[in-house]
Structures are given as structure tokens and as C-alpha cells.
């Protein structure tokens, strides 16, 4: 039953995205929703200018349809289901506004950092209020141990940091064709295993719905990409994976399973601190994937390497939670 449900959910998610994309991509192209490329980025990326972006709309559509259909057929929607959809859609709308301002209004920076942060905090606080009314635990587990740290009223601060931090971490990682689609599918797959192991079946269904949506999107997003997910997709995915970790009380494990996103973010932080304090750059360019591009690696080699690292992190996270 478990294997059948997982496979059917992934297949539905995959088909929704894969079937919609051939119709939606030309629509984005006709609307001239093309990606603008920053001049300071790798020169090889200039040829990507004009590639349709905001493809995250297809991912969101697939996630919502697949989750609701499969949950209603095999289970029953719970508060966890709607919390996951709320955060995913909420962060996705923020990303959509950011993309819309960049692409349509031609303001290359999109939403200001303060506007984006305010929106993320509001969504996070609403999530916290609803989740607490449904008895969300305010304790944080230390992976591989029986130790729990009770945060009490301070948990809301922790939750905001986790949701905002990981939504931005996935957003930073989305810089190469297929990079987030692949690493995201791997990470969500790992959390699907952990959610099912924890008895959170609705969370597991949502997780594999995301896996299917990302695999379907990857068909068109792999190098050379025919469409980009944009902030619409990356902010939504980051918020979604943080929400899953929170709901199954595996917040700290997200640092391991989402290790690629963490490393990418740390590379940016290290680069900024180093340049501001010493005037020197540690990396040729940040986030880290650009450093390897500028070191002579092909884009596909960088992506495949990061996928492999993401898979190793996912296996490690499952091993720590299930077998230690």
C-alpha cells in the first residue's frame, strides 16, 4: 500500500507538471516573461537571457492539485495539509511578486529585501499561531539522541528564522539549470521517508507530491533549460521544506538533509564578511556553484556534483533519524 501510494503520487505530480509545461512555457514566452541576467554574473550565462521564468507557477499548481487529490482519495486533509499548502502558496506569491516586478516592471532587484522579509515574517507568524492551536511542539530534537530542547515562547523566533532562512537558502541555490529541481527532489524525498516513519502520512504525501512536481519540471529545466522556476518556485520550495521539518519535529535534521542549501548560503555569508573586513574574496564568486563555474567546471558537472552531495546528505539524515 505504501509503495503504491508513493509511486502514484509521484506519477501524478510528474504528469501534471510535464503535461502543463509544453503549453505554459510558450505562454510565458508570448508574455515576454524572460529572465534578465546580471552583468556581474558568469559571462556564459548571458546566453540564457530571455529564457522564460516564473515556471514555479507550474510547480505550485502541480503540488496543490496532487496533494489535494491524493489526500482526499487515500487519506483525509488535516491541519498539517493546509499549513503546508498555506506556507508554500504564501511564499510562492511573494516570489511571484518579486519575479513580476523584475520581469514585467523591469526593476531588476524585484521586491526590496525589507518588503520580502516582512512578507516572510507575516506568513511565518500566521503559520505559528495556527500550528500552536493544533498543539505544535515547541521543543527541538537533537538528531541521533533523546535530547529535546524546550524553547517555549522563543520557539516562534526559531520558527521564523527557519522558514525565512531556508526559503532564502533555496533561492540562493537556484542559479544553474536543474540545480534546485534535482537537489530539491532529493531533499523532499528524504523528508517523505522521515514523515512516513514518524506517522505523519499527510506530510509524506505532500513531500512526494513535491518530488513528482520537481521531476516533471526537471524535464524542461535541465541543461539547457527551457524554463526557470524563478523566485516563485525557489522561495515556495524553501518555505515548504522548512515547514515539513517543523511539522515532523526534525528541524535540526534540515541542516543535514538540506546541506547543499546550507553550504550555498554559508558561501555567500563568508564571501561578504571576508570582503567587508579584509577587502578580499574567498571564492571567485558566490554562491558556491558560481565559484566552480569560474574555475572551469561545466555547468552540468557542477549540477551533477551538487546532486550527488545532496543525495549523500539525504542518506545521512535518514540514517541518523531512523537507525541511530
Neighbouring residues of 256: CB distance < 8 A, sequence distance ≥ 6: 143, 313, 316, 317, 320
pLDDT tens-place string over residues 49-65: 778 889 999 999 999 99
State mean pLDDT over 145-168.
96
Query: What is the rounded distance in angstroms from the CA atom of residue 263 to the CA atom of residue 306?
Result: 10
Task: Give the model's pLDDT for residue 235.
Answer: 98
The three three-digit cell numbers of residue 67, written as one number = 496533494
Query: What is the rounded distance in angstroms from the CA atom of residue 206 to the CA atom of residue 316?
Result: 22
The 3 state secondary structure assigned to the chain is CHHHHHHHHHHHHHHHHHHHHHHHHHHHHHCCCECCCCCCCCHHHHHHCCCECCCHHHHHHHHHHHHHHHHHHHCCCCHHHHHHHHHHHHHHHHHHHHHHHHHCCCCCCCCCHHHHHHHHHHHHHHHHHHHHHCCCCCEEECCCCCCEEECHHHHHHHHHHHHHHHHHHHHHHCCCCCHHHHHHHHHHHHHHHHHHHCCCHHHHHHHHHHHHHHHHHHHHHCCCCCCCCHHHHHHHHHHHHHHHHHHCCCCCHHHHHCHHHHHHHHHHHHHHHHHHHHCCCCCCCCCHHHHHHHCCCCHHHHHHHHHHHHHHHHHHHHHHHHHC
Least confident residue range of 100-109, 157-166, 183-192? 100-109
Task: Give the model's pLDDT for residue 37.
Answer: 60
Q: What is the CA radius of gyration of the chain?
A: 19
Query: Does 34 score more than 90 pLDDT?
Result: no
Least confident residue range of 45-54, 68-77, 242-251? 45-54
Task: Give the model's pLDDT for residue 40.
Answer: 59
Among left, alpha and beta (phi > 0; psi -120 to 50; other), residue 199 is left
The Cα-based distances of 153 to 128, 156, 258 in angstroms read 11, 6, 26
Question: Cis bond leading into 84, ω under 30°?
Answer: no
The three three-digit cell numbers of residue 146, written as one number = 533523546
Task: Give the model's pLDDT for residue 32.
Answer: 73
Whose grid coordinates read 534546485? Answer: 180
Query: Closest by alpha carbon to 37, among 46, 26, 27?
Result: 46
pLDDT band at 324 (very low <50, low <70, confident <90, very high): confident
Query: What is the rounded distance in angstroms from the CA atom of residue 292 to the CA atom of residue 295?
Result: 5
**Which residues are bridge partners to 263 per DSSP?**
none
Query: Does 241 score more than 70 pLDDT?
Result: yes
Query: What is the rounded distance in angstroms from the CA atom of residue 311 to the CA atom of residue 137?
Result: 29
Amino acid at each position: 500500500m505504501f509503495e503504491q501510494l508513493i509511486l502514484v503520487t509521484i506519477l501524478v505530480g510528474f504528469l501534471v507538471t510535464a503535461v502543463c509545461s509544453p503549453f505554459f512555457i510558450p505562454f510565458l514566452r508570448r508574455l515576454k516573461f524572460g529572465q534578465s541576467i546580471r552583468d556581474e554574473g558568469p559571462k556564459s550565462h548571458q546566453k540564457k537571457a530571455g529564457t522564460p521564468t516564473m515556471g514555479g507557477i507550474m510547480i505550485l499548481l502541480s503540488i496543490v492539485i496532487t496533494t489535494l487529490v491524493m489526500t482526499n482519495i487515500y487519506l483525509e486533509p488535516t491541519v498539517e495539509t493546509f499549513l503546508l499548502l498555506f506556507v508554500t502558496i504564501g511564499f510562492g506569491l511573494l516570489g511571484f511578486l518579486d519575479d513580476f516586478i523584475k520581469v514585467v516592471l523591469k526593476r531588476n532587484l524585484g521586491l526590496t529585501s525589507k518588503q520580502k522579509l516582512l512578507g516572510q515574517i507575516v506568513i511565518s507568524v500566521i503559520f505559528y499561531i495556527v500550528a500552536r492551536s493544533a498543539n505544535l511542539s515547541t521543543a527541538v530534537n537533537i538528531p541521533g539522541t533523546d535530547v529535546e530542547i524546550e524553547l517555549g515562547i522563543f520557539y516562534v523566533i526559531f520558527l521564523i528564522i527557519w522558514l525565512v532562512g531556508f526559503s532564502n537558502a533555496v533561492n540562493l541555490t537556484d542559479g544553474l539549470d536543474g540545480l534546485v529541481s534535482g537537489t530539491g527532489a532529493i531533499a523532499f524525498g528524504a523528508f517523505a521517508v522521515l514523515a512516513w516513519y514518524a506517522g505523519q502520512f499527510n506530510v509524506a504525501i505532500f513531500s512526494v507530491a513535491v518530488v513528482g512536481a520537481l521531476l516533471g519540471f526537471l524535464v524542461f529545466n535541465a541543461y539547457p533549460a527551457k524554463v526557470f522556476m524563478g523566485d516563485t518556485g525557489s522561495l515556495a520550495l524553501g518555505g515548504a521544506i522548512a515547514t515539513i521539518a517543523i511539522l515532523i519535529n526534525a528541524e535540526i535534521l534540515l541542516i543535514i538533509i538540506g546541506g547543499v542549501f546550507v553550504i550555498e548560503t554559508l558561501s555567500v555569508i563568508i564571501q561578504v564578511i571576508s570582503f567587508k573586513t579584509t577587502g578580499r574574496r574567498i571564492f571567485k564568486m558566490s554562491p558556491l556553484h558560481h565559484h566552480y563555474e569560474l574555475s572551469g567546471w561545466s555547468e552540468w558537472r557542477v549540477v551533477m556534483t551538487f546532486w550527488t552531495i545532496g543525495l549523500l546528505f539525504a542518506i545521512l539524515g535518514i540514517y541518523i533519524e531512523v537507525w541511530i
